[in-house]
Amino acid sequence: MGNMDICERLRRKLKEAVERSRADGMLLSGGVDTSILALIARPSRGFTVALEGASASDLAYSEKVARLLGIQHKKMEFTAEEALATLPVIIKTLKTFDLALPNDLSIYFALKLARESGIRSIMTGDGADELFAGYAYMAELLPEDLDRYIRRLSQNWHFSANELGRALGVEIRQPFLDGDFVRFGLEIGPELKVKDGAGKYILRKSFEDVLPPEIVWRRKEAIEYGSGSTKLHEIINNMVTDEEFQSAMNEFDIKFINKEHLFYWRSYNQVVGEIPKARDDEISCPCCGAAMGKYHCPTCGFSRPLL
């Protein structure tokens, strides 16, 4: 099957998945995933958030997509103080002290903005990076290893938007995770997912004639970078002294990655409590002792090398 045939099938399959995942609004980052969904779904409203005072590329890109597609676009900037005050809520909801929490903060604020705007269901771009090799580390894998890794991911992937949405009373719709579309995505060879150093190559190629090149070939940015919330890492890291960190490393049976990790655990310890230790039949995380999957611990965020 030629590339054009695959592109045509991909467009058709994704359109069908979008039809099965209709929602009142959309979390719009202006990245290729949500831009493609916006192009197909034409939602009435899109929502974008960013950390105040940060260089947040999502604001500019999402505005461009919203203007291009005629979507009513609502933006909000949250402060570092609001982020710090909200962290315990997110930690309690997700039961984690993962260093990726700034990602979850941005999702939470966007979902909260949507709910306050009367939205009851929201579409997200979850799953596209996992299914089509959007992360930089995936581009470094050999094709056969990449294919095997994606298949393993598809059996046990997890997205925080679902839990955060439930906590806020917003239903999450995820077209890229539609069962039929996932099966189709797994059929596509890894050599079409990463090509010429570009992840999500076939997904981008399928829509390059209907979206501006600066959108469809936009470099992958984690949510925390696009929303500017990566700035929180430095702020939080500076809230813990070297002495406090060293003392905690000596006192607790947890291998904290850095001072920010300790900060999150302190909140976890207050709002969640003790870490549930792995049973004898589970894989024990070498960092915190909780049960973990093959690659990642959902409690502390520890990740094993892929190979």
The pLDDT value recorded for residue 1 is 47
Q: What average pLDDT does this structure show over 18-42? A: 97
The pLDDT value recorded for residue 231 is 84
The pLDDT value recorded for residue 57 is 87
SS (H, E, C) the chain: CCHHHHHHHHHHHHHHHHHCCCCCEEECCCCHHHHHHHHHHCCCEEEEEEECCCCCHHHHHHHHHHHHHCCEEEEEEECHHHHHHHHHHHHHHHCCCCCCHHHHHHHHHHHHHHHHCCCCEEECCCCHHHHHCCCHHHHCCCHHHHHHHHHHHHHCCCCHHHHHHHHHCCEEECHHHCHHHHHHHHHCCHHHCEECCEECHHHHHHCCCCCCHHHHCCCCCCHHHHCCCCHHHHHHHCCCCHHHHHHHHHHCCCCCCCHHHHHHHHHHHHHCCCCCECCCCCEECCCCCEEECCCECCCCCCECCCC
The pLDDT value recorded for residue 2 is 58
- Total number of residues shown for the chain: 307
Q: What average pLDDT does this structure show over 124-144? A: 94
The pLDDT value recorded for residue 149 is 93
Q: What percent of the chain has pLDDT over 90?
A: 85
Q: Convert the pLDDT of each residue in 244-266 to its tens digit.
A: 999 999 999 999 999 999 999 99
Please say whether the beta carbons of 297 and 288 come within 8 A: yes
Given pLDDT bands bounded at 50, 70 and 90, which one contains residue 225? Answer: low
Q: Convert the pLDDT of each residue in 174-209 to its tens digit.
A: 999 999 999 999 999 999 999 988 899 999 999 999
The pLDDT value recorded for residue 304 is 83
The pLDDT value recorded for residue 22 is 96
Given pLDDT bands bounded at 50, 70 and 90, which one contains residue 307? Answer: low
CA–CA gap between residue 135 and residue 299 (Å, rounded): 22
Q: Convert the pLDDT of each residue in 89-114 to its tens digit.
A: 999 999 999 999 999 999 999 999 99
pLDDT > 50? residue 8? yes
Given pLDDT bands bounded at 50, 70 and 90, which one contains residue 239? Answer: very high
Q: What average pLDDT does this structure show over 115-134? A: 97
Predicted TM-score of the model (pTM): 0.93
Given pLDDT bands bounded at 50, 70 and 90, which one contains residue 223? Answer: low
CA–CA gap between residue 268 and residue 138 (Å, rounded): 30
Q: What percent of the chain has pLDDT over 70?
A: 97
